[in-house]
């Protein structure tokens, strides 16, 4: 059996493109609808209630586009609003980004015989405590989870400042506590942060720095395969993009990151979308 319907992917902005890029590598024959809620980014400093409201609205929109699955390419939504997303999406299956990354980290700590994991995330994700909770559920032995909220990273990435002295100063500022003694594994628990990965890796040369995209893509690929819902056609998957603010800056950043033209893009006005 083959299911040719697209996969919905969303984030507060361009960060979720780090997940989309992996999905395009692992599942190149699928079509995708990507929504970046650029008018309301960042989510990480907002209340859990606001994040639930935004995520619910986006999920209703994606479900109305007849997607076969929804990938929540946002840790903040995965941490604060996953039940709302599942409720609005039902019966469409939903994939979040926290457990795949924690599973990968759990595998690493076991192999490396390590007991220290670092988590870099937004304030909302850190406050939710979802990473330490998931880690203690999956890894039975004692692993200490040290979290640092890095809200400015999201702003830098949305501004296209992925390198240079300004971004480096932000990395130095937030990661200072780990300079002399870093955790063995550092999880980029915000989908915006992989764009700063080279800077983070050079600041923490001993640490294994991990991101969500490949981990969640493997989970999605495996689930669709087992359910016989992969797109079996050999065509190269197409992406339809939506953003909720002006498209110019989104297109420029998205093209630069994805390394491909971003042509199918529309600006979505929530006033025109029924809830
Ligand atoms: N990229 C998102 C995350 O993974 C959201 C960041 C934000 O909007 O603050 O948490």
Same structural domain for residues 43 and 92? Answer: yes
pLDDT of 271 > 90? The answer is: no
| Structural domain containing residue 76 | 7-96+214-272
Nearest CA to ligand 1 atom 9: 44
Q: Are residues 202 and 161 in the same domain?
A: yes
Q: What is the edge-to-edge ordering of all strands in the sheet holding 239-243?
A: 94-95, 69-72, 7-11, 32-36, 239-243, 265-267
Mean pLDDT of 93-99: 98
The number of domains in the chain is 2
CA of 88 to the centre of ligand 1 (A): 20
Kindly state if the Cβ of 194 falls inside 6 Å of ligand 1.
Answer: no
Residue 181 sits in a domain whose CATH number is 3.40.50.1860
| Centre of ligand 1 from the C-alpha of residue 41, in Å | 8
DSSP state of 236: P
Contact at 8 Å (CB) between 102 and 129? Answer: no
- Statement: residue 211 has pLDDT above 90: yes
For residue 272, pLDDT beyond 80? no
Q: Over the stretch 117-175, which tens digit does the pLDDT of each residue have?
A: 999 999 999 999 999 999 999 886 689 999 999 999 999 999 999 999 999 999 999 99
How far is the centre of ligand 1, averaged over its atoms, from the C-alpha of 78 (Å)? 10
Q: pTM of the predicted model, to two decimals?
A: 0.96
Q: Is 44 in the pocket of ligand 1 (CB under 6 A)?
A: yes
Q: What does the pLDDT average to over 194-209?
A: 97
217 to 36, 100, 151, 200: CA distances (angstroms): 18, 9, 25, 23
Is 212 near ligand 1, meaning CB less than 6 Å away? no
CB atoms within 10 A of CB 96: 24
């Amino acid at each position: 059996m083959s299911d040719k319907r697209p996969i919905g992917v969303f984030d507060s902005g361009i960060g979720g493109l780090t997940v989309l890029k992996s999905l395009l590598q692992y599942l190149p024959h699928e079509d995708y609808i990507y929504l970046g809620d650029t008018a309301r980014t960042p989510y990480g400093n907002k209340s859990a209630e606001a994040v639930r409201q935004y995520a619910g609205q986006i999920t209703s929109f994606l479900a109305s586009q007849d997607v076969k699955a929804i990938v929540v390419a946002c840790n903040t939504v995965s941490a604060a609003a996953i039940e709302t997303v599942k409720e609005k999406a039902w019966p469409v299956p939903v994939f979040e980004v926290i457990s795949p990354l924690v599973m990968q980290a759990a595998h690493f700590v076991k192999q490396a015989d390590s007991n220290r994991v670092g988590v870099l995330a937004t304030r909302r994700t850190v406050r939710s405590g979802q990473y330490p909770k998931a880690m203690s559920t999956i890894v039975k032995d004692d692993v200490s989870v040290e979290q640092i909220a890095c809200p400015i990273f999201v702003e830098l990435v949305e501004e296209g400042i992925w390198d240079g002295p300004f971004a480096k100063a932000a990395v130095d500022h937030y990661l200072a506590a780990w300079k002399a003694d870093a955790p063995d594994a550092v999880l980029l628990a915000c989908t915006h942060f992989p764009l700063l990965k080279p800077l983070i890796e050079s600041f923490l040369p001993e640490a294994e720095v991990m991101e969500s995209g490949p981990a969640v893509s493997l989970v999605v690929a495996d689930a669709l395969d087992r359910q016989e819902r992969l797109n079996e056609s050999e065509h190269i998957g197409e992406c339809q993009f939506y953003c909720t603010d002006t498209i110019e800056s989104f297109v420029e950043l998205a093209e630069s990151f994805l390394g491909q033209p971003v042509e199918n893009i529309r600006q979505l006005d929530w006033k025109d979308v029924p809830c």
